[in-house]
Amino acid sequence: MSACVGLSATGCRTFTATSSQGLALMHEILFIVSAMRLPIVMATVNRALSAPINIWGDLSDVMANRDIGWVQLFGNNGQEVYDLTPCCFKIAEDRRVLLPVMLNIDGFTLSHVVEPIETLTQQDFDDFLPPYEPAQRLDVNQPISMGPVGPPDIFTETKKVHDDALVASRIVVNEVLDDFGRRFGRSYRAVEEYQTDDADVLLFTIGGTLGETGHTAVDALRARGMKIGQVLLRLWRPFPFDDIRRIFTGRKAVIVYDRALSVGGPGGPVASELRAAMYGRPDAPAILSLIAALGGRDVRAVEMAEQIENAVRRAGEGEYPAYEMVGVRE
């Protein structure tokens, strides 16, 4: 990542990829990249963090890096990952953004699975993504300083500007995704809804492994008469508070599936964000946090449907814990 900082600072369009312990190892530099407003794009193949040693997929690595100040997106299948990659560059390099973008990909269940995809031509890429023109660059003939000391009398202000820029990037994210959809006929949204129009209960997922399994579970539960829908979160940072509040207000219950555990904390990171978004609202739903599929463990659609039915029953009885790790063997 330090090499990427040098490349980007001198005006190169810069891409890298990492996973798990490698992402943890570069943690220190990730803050520097975003604070210096370097539009680096990084694919992160999400996998568990040791110990014990585990190379399989969950979201522990990205959730340990949720506050690094990067735009963070999730691709849910091979086609999405392919399509979102040029979108990431277009978002990062927009002069209104100039922030790094992380594209998250489920480890093994997506990264190592072969899927048919529709490809773009080189001309498609060239038309969609213009040549990179850096806003500033390191040049010995026109010297500037990047990343100098920030003493107490300016540090707070720099953090405020950084936060404002990340929040405002949401506008550009929407514009870029809409532009891609108009050009190529495949539309993506920061927050995707499935069967939500008449739903009393919502399933809330992030990442493709549980997301696409959730579609099957929702269909099965609807066939049994439950008014349930699914909300799939594609944009993790900046967190889309407005969309979340619009979709979840007035529902009876939300079952949140997290593939990461905030150890000693409130349970799942995504559930924690949802609770913060809905805090203090009189028409907020009951929010049930389920932790599942850690370290690559499979969750089948039939198991997910059973877990949802159990959670809904307990919510109706008013007896449910702050979070529950499902599928734990005794």
pLDDT tens string 181-232: 999 999 999 999 999 999 999 999 999 889 999 999 999 999 999 999 999 9
* Per-residue pLDDT, 132: 95
In the prediction, which pLDDT does 321 show? Answer: 87
Question: What is the pLDDT, as a whole number, of residue 9?
Answer: 97
At 6 the pLDDT is: 96
How many residues in total does the chain contain? 330
Q: Please answer whether residues 108 and 57 qualify as being in contact, where contact means their C-beta atoms are separated by less than 8 angstroms.
A: yes
Q: What is the mean pLDDT of the chain?
A: 96
Instruction: Report pLDDT for 151.
Output: 97
Q: Which two tokens stand for residue 111?
A: 């990264």
Could you tell me the sign of the dihedral formed by the alpha carbons of 312, 261, 192, 95, in that order?
positive
Banded pLDDT at 330 (limits 50, 70, 90): confident
- Binned at pLDDT 50, 70 and 90, residue 322 comes out as confident
Please give the CATH number for the structural domain made up of 191-325: 3.40.50.920
Residue 316 has pLDDT above 90, yes or no: no
Question: Model confidence over 122-170: pLDDT tens digits?
Answer: 999 999 999 999 999 999 999 999 989 999 999 999 999 999 999 999 9
- List, by residue range, all CATH 3.40.50.970 domains of the chain: 2-184
Tokens representing 239 are: 């967190």
Which residue type is seen at 306?
Answer: E
pLDDT value of position 127:
97
Q: How far is CA 79 from CA 64, 116, 117, in A?
A: 26, 8, 5
Token digits of residue 193:
């809804």
Torsional sign, CA 67, 73, 78, 84: negative
- What is the side-by-side strand order in the sheet with 201-206? 191-194, 228-233, 201-206, 253-258, 286-291, 324-325
Look at residue 317 in the predicted model and tell me its pLDDT. 86
- φ and ψ of 11, to 5 deg: 100, 15
The percent of the chain in helix, strand and coil, each rounded to the nearest 5, is 40, 15, 40
Q: Which two tokens stand for residue 224?
A: 């049994």
What pLDDT was estimated at residue 79? 97
**Where are the CATH 3.40.50.920 domain residues in the chain?**
191-325
- CA separation (Å) from 33 to 19, 97, 237? 17, 13, 15
- Give pLDDT tens digits for 3-31: 999 999 999 999 999 999 999 999 999 99
Indicate the pLDDT class of residue 319, thresholds 50, 70 and 90. confident
Q: Does domain 2-184 have CATH number 3.40.50.1980?
A: no
Question: Residue 320 pLDDT > 90, yes or no?
Answer: no
Q: How far apart are alpha carbons 260 and 292 in whole angstroms? A: 8
